[in-house]
Structure 1
Amino acid sequence: MKNIYPKLLLILPLSLLSCTEVTDEVINNIHQNNAQENYTSPFMGKWVGTYSGDAISGTLILNVSKSGSIEVTRAENGAVGEVYYTSLQGPSGALNPAPSPKGFILYGSLYTKSGTWNFKHWSGSWSVAKQ
């Protein structure tokens, strides 16, 4: 019978090394997930303001969640025009310029509390204040 101990001595450290790498990766993923779960956007809350410009104007309500996602309510002439969802980009409070289903797009930042908007062939500016 051949001596298998030299082979075991070689295999055992290699298997521990790969387990250590996997364990480190799992731990890093857990820490990253915990950081995301514990994150609170500094812009969290309700923001109310107006938009105005070419031919249309109205009211904006931005509800920013803990994670930084935004529910945008756009009203025109006192009636809700639409509700859609977007998000913040980075620590500057920049709005993700995602168009609404109808095509209304907000550009700007909650840090400056203002920006511009486009809708079909119209454009203008907007501003909000935190409630």
Structure 2
Amino acid sequence: MKTRTILPLLLVLTFTSCQEILDRYWEEKEEENYVSPYQGTYQGTYSGDEKGTLTIEVARNGYTSVARTSQFGAENSFISGMVRHDGALQSVKLQSGFVLEGNLNVKAGNWRLADWKGSWSVQKQ
């Protein structure tokens, strides 16, 4: 009697596990093949309480690296957030605390660093 109850339960769990494995496989394939529509190099300036130049590199997968140069020096970040499918910057923050907020659809946004703030704009190269 116990065997009749356990066997169907094991079959259901096995099929569920297989389906989860297949789902995960296809999700990973989608991520591997994803090409961000924002891929490329964007250069521009930022101004406000501080001013300087910006370079935003968007990789194939949407991850960003940022370089900025101000009157106080230069700062680079190898991976600093990402660009979502709608162009919005997500978690783009350099080690100094310099944060970019905005959207690459409009190629502009705001920045902040502690109490300093301002705006930025870029053009795709």
TM normalised by structure 2 equals 0.85
> Would you say 1:81 and 2:74 are equivalent positions?
yes
Does 2:111 match 1:122? no
**Unaligned 5+ runs, structure 2:** none
Q: d(CA) in 2 for partners of 1:126 and 1:7? A: 68
Aligned residue identity for 2:15: T
The one-letter code of the counterpart of 2:100 is L
1:73–1:9: structure 2 CA closer, same or farther, 3 Å change rule?
same
**C-alpha separation between the residues in 2 aligned to 1:10 and 1:99?**
55
RMSD: 2.1
Q: Deviations over 1:54-88 (max 9, x none)?
A: 2x2111000111111110000124x8521123223
Other-structure match for 1:109: 103
Q: What percent of counterpart residues are identical?
A: 37
1:69 is aligned to: 63
| 1:108-130, Cα deviation, whole Å (9 max, x unpaired) | 01111000111233221110111
The Cα shift of 1:98 comes to 4.2
Aligned to 2:46: 51
